[in-house]
A and B are shown apart, each in its own frame.
Chain A
Amino acid sequence: MIQQEAQYRAWMLAALAGDAAAYRMLLQGLTRHLRGYYAKRLGAAAAEDVVQETLIAIHAKRATYDPTRPFTAWVYGIARYKLMDEYRRGHRKATVPLEEAGELFGADEAEAAGTRRDVEKLLAKLPQAKRDLVRAIKLDGQSIADEAARTGMSETSVKVTVHRALKSLGEELGGSNADR
């Protein structure tokens, strides 16, 4: 996200100065993000038209980008506005929660950021000590021996703690699914 901000901002600044190659990279990259963002909310077919409209808006309103501010926030502001406009026209529910720009840039084809966020949400349900262990071993790839040394626990109790934590998260997921 931070790398994307730097990359897109650099393309945008070059484009504002008249660099067509940078502008092409910018628009092609944004097309990918926007397609994912709208497809998730409007369906793939409707998304294409809105992507097109949003690209035109980005082009027409590019002078309103203030180079001292984040580019991703600017693009997200436009994308969200066009989404609300689409809802209004379709007489659908016309409120879109004020999310962060991450909503747009998390919508890339891979959805990697979205997955990561879901995992973090789930992890937040664990107590601090267990959460740190699960994150270190299962997400960051630390060894059980290292974590045992760091926390002063035995290797066996690290293993048991992680196992129990994952089991309780599994039950959490199973439970919420059964509710539906």
Chain B
Amino acid sequence: MAGMLELKNLNKNFDAVHVINDFSLEVFENSLCCLVGPNGAGKTTTLDLITGRQAPSSGKIILNGVDITGKAEQAICRLGIGRKFQIPAIFRELSVEQNLAVAHSIEINPIKNIFSFSSKNYKTKMDEIADKVGLSHRLPEMAGNLSHGEIQWLEIGMLLMQDAPLLLLDEPVAGMTEGEVSKTVDILNELKKIKTLIVVEHDMGFVRRIADVVTVMHMGSLLAKGSIEQIEKNQEVRNVYLGTEDE
């Protein structure tokens, strides 16, 4: 069985610097794959390549059998990939409710959207998702006024409104308190029953609580892949994380 998302021999150079080096990865449906690695390993760049923010120098990206290499961001997004950014990207001047409404991007035709005034047809969905990410009581609040954790959840909520089957999350728990991390773990474990997720993360404690598969990147290439137990025993990974290079 072919994976939902396949990366084949990706390469990315910025001038002479090889950021991604012959990196291949396969992600299967309804699983949660964690992408870990030290700083500068190329994790975020990999997400950039998948979502079309940058074009790979060579290699192929295949989503559900369709080659999406080098397509525009919004086109890739329409094929079913949602992305949460490392620095949370939400619409700060809009209310939480409006953020979710914008994320409901079923209809992208601007002309049709000019004549659309009602949120009736997605109101139920919006309430459900707000509930799932724990923001039901914050709907009328300006998104810029939310706490850091709430902003992260709002962004996850927006991905759910967008309804993409494949979600890429870049450091979803960065800067969260322990309580907030636990809540995020619950949200993600709930999500992976219905979605496919790729999570970029540093925090191995967090990874242990959510990952089905862990992929370790180092210097832009694949270092190891396996379950969390296998990874934690892997000597090479230990060297990279604990040995000569520091985090």
Asked if chains A and B come from one complex, the reply is no
